[in-house]
Structures are given as C-alpha cells and as structure tokens.
Structure 1
Amino acid sequence: MQKYTIEDLLYLMGRLRDPELGCPWDVKQDFASIVPHTLEEAYEVADAIAREDWEHLNDELGDLLFQVIFYAQMGSEKERFDFSTIVSNLVEKLVRRHPHVFPDGSLQSDRSETPISEEEIKRNWEAIKLQERNAKETRGISRVLDDVPRALPGLSRAVKLQKRAAQVGFDWNEAEAVLDKMEEELAELREAIAAGDKEAIADEMGDMIFAQVNLARHLGVNPEDAVRGTNQKFERRFNHVEDRVLASGRPWNQFTLQELDSFWDEAKEKGL
C-alpha cells in the first residue's frame, strides 16, 4: 500500500479547492463554514480516546489534521498564511514556552541535566504566557479575558475565564468558600423557580453551573471530563434498565417509575 506524505496531503487540498476542477463542496467553503466540522472532529478524537478505540483514533486524528490543512489552504489563497507559516510559528512558540528543554531558545539546544519539577514548569509556562499577553497589549489587546476563545464549550470556557481571573487575584482562596457561593446561588435559583420567572431561572441556573465549575477547578477536577464520565455512566445504567424492560416483554408505559428505579439500582449494584 502506498504511503502518502504531508506534501501529498497539501497537494490534494489544493486540488480539492481548484475553482475549475476541484470539488464543488470544498470550493464553496470558507473559514466560518468549516468551524462546525472542526469542532465535530475534535470531539470525535476525544470520544475515541475515551473509548480507547485506538484503531479509529488513527482515522479521527487524520480527519482533524485535514481541518488544519483546509484552513491553511484558504489562508494561502487569501495570502494571509500557509501551512509552512503555521508550522514555523508553532515550533517557535513551543521552543519559547519550553526553556527547560531548549535553554538558549533554539531548537537544537540541549536541556540541562538538572531536574525540574512539574510545579516549576507550570509556573514558567504561566509566566511566559503572561509575557505573550503583555506583548499583545501593544497591539491593542489589553483586557485580561480578551483572548479566551468564545467558541470553546461552555464548561471549558468557564474554567479558562476563572483561571485567567485568578491570575490577577480575583479568586476564592479555598473550596469551602465556593461551596458557600453555591449555596447562595441555589437559594437564588429556588426563588426564581418559585416566582416562575423563566428568564431569571435560566440566569440563575447559569450562575449555579458556573459556581460548580469553580468548585471543580478548586478540587482539581476537569468539569468536562467529569460530565463526560457521568454521561457514560448514565448510558451504561440506562442500558441495563432498557435490557430489563425488553426482557419482560412489556412496553415502557406499563412500568412505574419505582419499578424502573429498581432496575437502575440493580445496575448500580452490578457496578455499571
């Protein structure tokens, strides 16, 4: 089987985008129209890893790489950037952000044999990123939260917003204080529910979730991972409930919630 290279992939992308002989679908796309596909491919990569489906992960990573190639081709067409500048900028940034590996700032430099802790690496990383943000201020980006991507999933963006605010001292000192804040938000949510104010309910529900993300951050838990794990657990347990219903030969509407809940408890006892 022939082994293709990154140069072949770039050539293929150019062919797909050829205005006369390319693929009509690919030709009509622009940066904005490709974004939903990029997000979908990223989630499919995450899903394959979560399922430890290594065979399909290979394919999903290829699909995600194709998204980068697509953007590079469109950037080249607009004379804004191309694949080579994407790679060059990435290498330059990673060398700059890893001084413990590339001490003199060049790709060929060797690291010191003196060990460095993960905590020190993290401090250095944050200090370098802060320097980069300060440099951006000279180009008109001055607000603390300005470059937190808006297209991130809600929970992930909440974490990044909170971490960024924490860097300038706007943060709770301990998890217990966040728990108190959650109690406050829960009380406000109850009031909104009692009033039947849908707009206020949505607002307070958002505050409650934001506070939960804050607690997860203080406890060292990634909220996206936590929810993903809970989703998988719910799916396993609900599948057991469905198996019990199907085995009975009775339709769903003939079961009481209590009966269905007993099947759920069985799933928990089985460690599902």
Structure 2
Amino acid sequence: MTTAETGTPALDAPATRDQPPAGQEEGRPGDPVGDPRGERDGDGDGDGDGDGVGEDTGADGSGEPSAAPAADRPRGRWRRAVPVTVVTAVAVLLLAAGGVLLQLGGQLRGSADTANRALTDTAAGTRLVGDVGSALTKVFSYAPNDTDATTTAAQDSLDAKAATQYRALMDQLRRRVAEEKLTLTTRVVRVGIVRLTAGDAQLLVFLDQTSRREGRPASVVGAQLSVTARLDGGHWRITDLSAR
C-alpha cells in the first residue's frame, strides 16, 4: 500500500495500547497521577487549592503544622496560675499573723515598761543607786582591827538572804583577816538598774576591790554582782547578792 503524496510504501503502525479518552490522563481511570492528595482538590477543578481532602498546611500557608487548638491553651495558663494564687494567699496570711504578734508583743512590752521606772523615774533611780552603792562599799571594806564596823553596816543595809550570806562569809574571814593583817577596800565603779518598781529593784554592780597584806604589795581585782533590793522605811536594803 502506498501513500498518495510520496509513493513510498506505508509502514504498518506499531501496535499501541488503547489511548485514554479525551480529558483523561494516562493511569487509573478517574484518578490523578502522582500523590492523590496534592494534584486535585475536592471540587474537581484541578487547581489544587480547593476544599478537598489534603495535608494541613497551617493557617499561614507556610507548610508548618498548625499550633495546638486554642481550647487547650487556657488550661495550661490555669495550671500555672493556681500555684501562684496559693502562694500569694499563704504570704498574706503569714503577714497578717506577724502583724498580730507584733501588736501583742508591743502591748506586753508597753505594760512591762509602764511598771519599770528605771528610765522614767530619775529621782527614785538616783536614791536607789546611792543606797546600794554605799551599802556595798561599807560591807565589803574591812581592816584587821575593825571588823565590828563592817558587821554594824551589814545589819543596817542587808536583809533576808543577803544578810544570811554575809554572816556566813564573815565567820570564815574574821580569823583570817586578823592573822594575815588583811585589809580590803571596795569601790563602786558602775551601777546599772535592770528593773525598778515602787518597792523592788534589780541592779548590776561593778566593783574594784583593793586588798593589802602586811609586808606585801597591794593587788586590785574587779568584781561583778547581781543585787536585789527592797524599799524599807524610805531606804533601800539589799535582800540578795550573787557574784557573776
């Protein structure tokens, strides 16, 4: 068989498979070629931007997975907020309790300060220091031949437990003072009033004591006494003594 134009023998056309109908691409009938999720959209218009089933590209079209649903985020904020609220409430309660304790403490201190006249009654404090200082100077100063004067001063200025303590001390010292020719002179260096009321007082007294023995040089030592005194007939009498 020859063609009309060239007169050359016609070659038999190679056997081919059936061509797909017009408008249908090669492949499975009715399906797009390649990834079925990216080439055709759900409305069949082929532009790939429709509402068909496809991969979620995010709200901004950047291809990144979208963030967690908004409904989940408030729960996270609530979880973080709850501990802060609890801590704040506890702090407020502690501050309130501290304020109450401070107020009660101030009231107690105010009551105690009202009874304690050590800082407010200057005249009473001066009289107290004078009586106690004079008494300590006399009862703790003695000479080998004059212990009787010390005993008399003790009877006038010591009372109760202090008087008993002093008598026991002097019973031990009297013979020693006479044998060793011992002389003791006491000087009050400082007096601090710890507490002063209308009839009782507590003091802290610092002393310098100079002792001399016949044929030996003098020596000076310091002493510190806690003193309790009671007002008796307008004069302060020492009721208790203790070395510190």
Normalised-by-shorter TM-score class: under 0.3
* Larger relative strand fraction: 2
TM superposition score normalised by structure 1: 0.16
TM superposition score normalised by structure 2: 0.17
* Larger relative helix fraction: 1
